[in-house]
Amino acid sequence: MFAQNISIVFQWLVFLGTAFVAILASILMITRKNPIHSALLLILTFLCTAVLFFLLQNPFIAIIQILVYAGAIMMLIVFVIMLLELEEELVSPLKISFSKGVGVLTALLIMLGLFFAVFGGARGAIGEYTPEKVSQLGSAKVVGKLLFTDYLLPFEIVSILLMAAIVGAIVLAKQRPSEKE
Amino acid sequence: MGDRALPLEETAMLEFVWLIPLFPAIGFVINGLFGRQINRKAVGLVACAAIGLSAVFSSVLFFVLLKQPDYFFEKEIFSWIVSGQFAAAVGYQVDALSIVMALAVSWVSFFIHVYSIGYMHDDPGYPRYFTYLNLFVFMMLNLVLANNFLLMFVGWEGVGLCSYLLIGFWFEKDSASNAGKKAFVVNRVGDFGFLLGIFLLVTHFGTLNFSQIFASAPQVLTVSAATMIAVLLFIGATGKSAQLPLYVWLPDAMEGPTPVSSLIHAATMVTAGVYMVARCHVIYEMAPVALAIVAAVGVLTAIYAASIGFAQNDIKKVLAYSTISQLGYMFLGVGVGAYSAGIFHLMTHAFFKGLLFLAAGSVMHAMSGELDMRKMGGLRKLTPVTFWTFLIATLAIAGFPPLSGFFSKDEILWHAFKQSRLLWAIGFVAAGMTSFYMFRAVFMTFFRESRAPETVKKHIHESPKIMTVPLIILAGLSIVGGWVGIPHALGGANRFHQFLSTAIKVSHETAGHAASKVHIMLASNQPAAEIAKHGMTSTHSAVDPTEYVLMAASVGIALVGLAFAYLLYITKPGLLERLVSSWHRLHRLVFNKYYVDEIYEYLFVDSLKGLGRGLWKGADTFFIDGTVNGVADVAGILSNLTRRIQNGLVQSYALSMVVGGMVVVGYYVIRAIFF
Amino acid sequence: MTIPPIPSAAYLIVGAMLFIIGAVGVLTRRNGIVVFMSIELMLNSVNLSLITFSHFLNSMDGVLFVFFVMAVAAAEAGVGLAIFVQLYRTQKTIHLDEVHLMRW
């Protein structure tokens, strides 16, 4: 009995710990004065999410999450924070004004609504890719196969999108000749 | 009679009846478009030639008409309105009544056009004047030749328009443009009644064609319907022909050039009302009440206007009130059923009143534009042609035989006497008053010493030939024009009446006193020529001796008027001053035209102005502007409020998104919980 | 006694909480970079939900969707930060309540 349960228990433990850390880190993230602290805490949140992806038997996406989010995007953000030489916010970062209070309240209400919505669990049409099949085939392989057959068009469009983003970023961030003076 | 084949060419000429109005229309277009580019002489020539051609062609058609059976010809030119059941066409009708009117209008217009070339010689608006004048004749000819009410109404309105344009010809003068507006507005009031009458006709008959309406009227109309229609049409006539209570525009219309006063306000336009009543005699015969109203209004207007003429000092105003008074006589004539007598007086009046106005214009020309008779005098020797023609016209209007006015006025009074002694009596007194004030005008203007200032006296001269020749011609017509209507009582055949009877078939009109025979023949619808012939031969029945008595009385009262005028203005002017000062208040009342204009201004004009002001302030400024501005203000306020949403702050936009998200989520949650 | 496996609701609740925390961060913070990071957090939470659904509904659609979301997030991060850099250069501040150029 223990043997059957041990994996489930382990999973539960990992899940609870990771979830707790993720939520804690994100709450801390939005309350720090120092933006670098916020960036580091966000990285932690991303790592926790990656662990959750592992738990959901999708190692491929978990690795992609670490590589793209925690690696590339957060690096960009940290670079920009360093580049802009931001001073610390002198005022308390959570200066409460009326509209902000309203916003927070609304957000909490949404959260309650979402809780209500997900209460029954995931509902929807059942597909054919059971987790066992995916892990047997290899999740990367399955994703790759689908990417080049069913989802070819979005794939190509995303590549164009990325190119546009690159060009845009370069154009936007370029120093104008007059500013060099 | 009448089986012989009519020469084809002659009948075919009637097909060209539309040329009669067309010539003045062409003149109007040429002078209107090119008047200022072409030579002055050419302008006058074009205008007079247009009218001259119309006049000549009308005369030709007159003789052709005599050869037609029934003296009747109708031609539709083109179909104008076809709408469901209702159809109206532009068409002309040539019968005795319309050809008489067309002849009078076109010939008198021709003489006045020729006169105008001299009178308006120095005026800068010379081409415009002739353009309007031609347009007027075109409209008037449409009015008299029309074969349906709609075309007649077009002409009716058209002459009103031209009257406005010509009264306000010297529009730089405030008084002139105001007079033009007054004429148009007062006319409009009358035209409203006229239009209502036309609407009733359409409702009852479904058509506006004269022949169709008059043929079926006795079957279709009840007496009350006919009375209503007749009264409404007569309201239009009161406006156009200046009767009580809508006469007020005519004295003010003297602001226009004198030939305009002569043509429009004496000879032609103002007679349109009389023509209309005569044309609609079938309807009026069915409504004795309406006829009584017509006669009463006519005779009351006659005496009322005559009384005002006593105290006026402006020579044109005297003639204007005289016109109103004589129009009253015409309506008296048609009101007692003597339609041809009314038209007869219309024709003779066109001659002598047209002449009077032209002669007054000649006097003004001699006196360098002076109108006040108190400053005139002594023109008898200095402007002889003007004097003699004026005198002839005065004798005619006063009703001295054998001039034309005697025959026409006397026939009206005779028929009035047969209808009602009271009507006759009022008309009789008015005739005496007419004689008095007309001779007063003659004596003040032409006799005794000149009372003019020296500068004016030096320039007194007779008018040029181009002005005096029409005077002479019209004077001749004033003398002989009545001889076509010499009644049987005096041994004549009254051809005028017989000719008109072919168009105006009434059972009781008995100028020849052979009532029964003519009546039977009329009822049997025999051809007109036969009736005329019988009428002529059946003059042997007895002539009522009363007619002679009345004739003598008419001449007598005219002499009395003449004598009084002579007494007060030639022999004993001191008497005049004493009378004026002892009847001071009455004199002032009459001199101020019984303050009617002031009364109208107070009653109608001021109240309308007040209404306008009230509507302007209340409805327009407060309500409509307020609403429109209010809508704009509301839009502004709303936008000021909603503007704050877009403040450029990213986080407030994010807040909006979150709130929107909450709404969506909330909707689904609530739906899931409660349903 | 068998302990039930982790229900999908658990993951989804975690995802919802992360989403809301990110939303609160967007609404509340003045610093533009922190707001941007909160947006990334929101995107991430959506990824979590999608993978959850994909796992429990035996479908790969969610996984592919997440793939594309990540690509778009990367592109967005690149361009967005470039905008931030440019904004700092001209306005000398990245505090969002001082930047209200795009208003009426």
Closest-CA distance of chain C to residue A91, Å: 10
Q: What stretches in chain C show pLDDT beneath 70? A: 1, 104
**Which residues have C-beta within 8 Å of that of residue B117, sequence separation ≥ 6?**
B44, B48, B466
Give residue C95's pLDDT.
82
Q: Best of B652, B658, B664, B670 to disrupt the A interface by mutation (most A CBs within 10 Å)?
A: B658
**Which residues have C-beta within 8 Å of that of residue A96, sequence separation ≥ 6?**
none
Closest-CA distance of chain A to residue C91, Å: 12
Rounded to the nearest 10°, the torsion over CA B139, B141, B146, B151 is 0
Residue A75 sits at the chain C interface (C-beta within 8 Å) = no
| Inter-chain CB proximity A117 and B668 less than 8 Å | yes
Restricting to A residues 150-179, those with a Cβ less than 8 Å away from any Cβ of C are 150-151, 154, 158, 161-162, 164-166, 168-170, 172-173, 179
| Inter-chain CB proximity A113 and B672 less than 8 Å | no
| Inter-chain CB proximity B662 and A117 less than 8 Å | no
Place of tokens 């019988």: B534
**Which residues have C-beta within 8 Å of that of residue B463, sequence separation ≥ 6?**
B118, B362, B365, B366, B383, B385, B386
Residue B652 sits at the chain A interface (C-beta within 8 Å) = yes
Give residue C96's pLDDT.
82
Q: Which residues pair with B79 in a beta bridge?
A: B89
Contact status, residue B273 vs residue B331, Cβ threshold 8 Å: yes
| Inter-chain CB proximity C27 and B655 less than 8 Å | yes
Give residue A21's pLDDT.
96
pLDDT-based confidence at residue B535 (cuts at 50, 70, 90): very low
Residue B512 has pLDDT above 80, yes or no: no
Instruction: Please state, in angstroms and rounded to a whole number, the distance separating the CA atoms of residues B81 and B75.
Output: 16
Minimum-distance CB partner of C100 among B643, B648, B654: B648
Give residue A90's pLDDT.
56
Residue B632 has pLDDT above 50, yes or no: yes
Subunits with at least 3 CB pairs below 8 A relative to chain A?
B, C
Contact status, residue B51 vs residue B111, Cβ threshold 8 Å: no
Give residue B532's pLDDT.
45
pLDDT-based confidence at residue B382 (cuts at 50, 70, 90): confident
Tokens in use for C10? 């658990």
Give residue B533's pLDDT.
45
Mean pLDDT value across residues B415-420 = 86
Give residue B555's pLDDT.
87
Give residue B594's pLDDT.
80
Can you tell me the ipTM of this complex? 0.92
Share of chain B above pLDDT 90, in %: 18
Give residue B543's pLDDT.
67
Give residue B516's pLDDT.
35
Of B377 and C88, the structure prediction assigns the larger pLDDT to C88
| Inter-chain CB proximity A84 and C41 less than 8 Å | no
pLDDT digits (tens, 9 = 90+) for B70-83: 777 888 888 888 88
| Inter-chain CB proximity B658 and A109 less than 8 Å | no
Residue A52 sits at the chain C interface (C-beta within 8 Å) = yes
Write B557-560 long-range contacts (CB < 8 A, 24+).
B557/B428, B557/B429, B557/B431, B557/B432, B557/B435, B558/B398, B558/B399, B558/B400, B558/B431, B558/B432, B558/B434, B558/B435, B559/B435, B560/B432, B560/B435
Give residue A1's pLDDT.
61
Residues of A in contact with C17 (CB under 8 A): 23, 111
| Inter-chain CB proximity C96 and B655 less than 8 Å | no
pLDDT digits (tens, 9 = 90+) for B39-50: 888 888 889 999
Give residue B498's pLDDT.
76
**Which residues have C-beta within 8 Å of that of residue B262, sequence separation ≥ 6?**
B112, B115, B353, B354, B356, B357, B358, B361
Residues of C in contact with A65 (CB under 8 A): 44, 47, 70
Residues of C in contact with B655 (CB under 8 A): 27
Of B158 and B459, the structure prediction assigns the larger pLDDT to B158
Residues of A in contact with B666 (CB under 8 A): 109, 113
Q: Taking the CA atoms of chain B, what radius of gyration do you get in angstroms?
A: 31
Mean pLDDT value across residues B525-549 = 54
Minimum-distance CB partner of B651 among C96, C101, C104: C96
pLDDT digits (tens, 9 = 90+) for B134-169: 999 999 999 999 999 999 999 999 999 999 999 999
Q: What stretches in chain A show pLDDT beneath 50? A: 181
Q: Work out the burial of residue B4: count CB atoms within 10 Å of its CB; fewer than 13 is exposed, 13-18 middle, 19 or more buried.
A: exposed
Interior angle at CA B428, CA B423 and CA B430, nearest 5: 100
Give residue B143's pLDDT.
93
Mean pLDDT of chain B: 83
Minimum-distance CB partner of C77 among A4, A61, A76: A76
Give residue A96's pLDDT.
66
Give residue A98's pLDDT.
80
Residue C100 sits at the chain B interface (C-beta within 8 Å) = yes
pLDDT digits (tens, 9 = 90+) for B316-328: 999 999 999 999 9
Closest-CA distance of chain C to residue A143, Å: 7
Q: Best of A30, A110, A118 to disrupt the B interface by mutation (most B CBs within 10 Å)?
A: A110
Residues of B in contact with A110 (CB under 8 A): 658, 661-662, 665
Closest-CA distance of chain B to residue C36, Å: 11
Instruction: Please state, in angstroms and rounded to a whole number, the distance separating the CA atoms of residues A2 and A118.
Output: 31
Alpha helices by DSSP H, listed for B206-338, are: 210-220, 223-240, 249-252, 258-262, 272-279, 281-285, 288-309, 315-335
| Inter-chain CB proximity B648 and C103 less than 8 Å | yes
| Inter-chain CB proximity B651 and C99 less than 8 Å | no
Closest-CA distance of chain A to residue B657, Å: 10
Residue B599 sits at the chain A interface (C-beta within 8 Å) = no
pLDDT-based confidence at residue B583 (cuts at 50, 70, 90): confident
Q: Work out the burial of residue B461: count CB atoms within 10 Å of its CB; fewer than 13 is exposed, 13-18 middle, 19 or more buried.
A: exposed
Give residue A34's pLDDT.
87
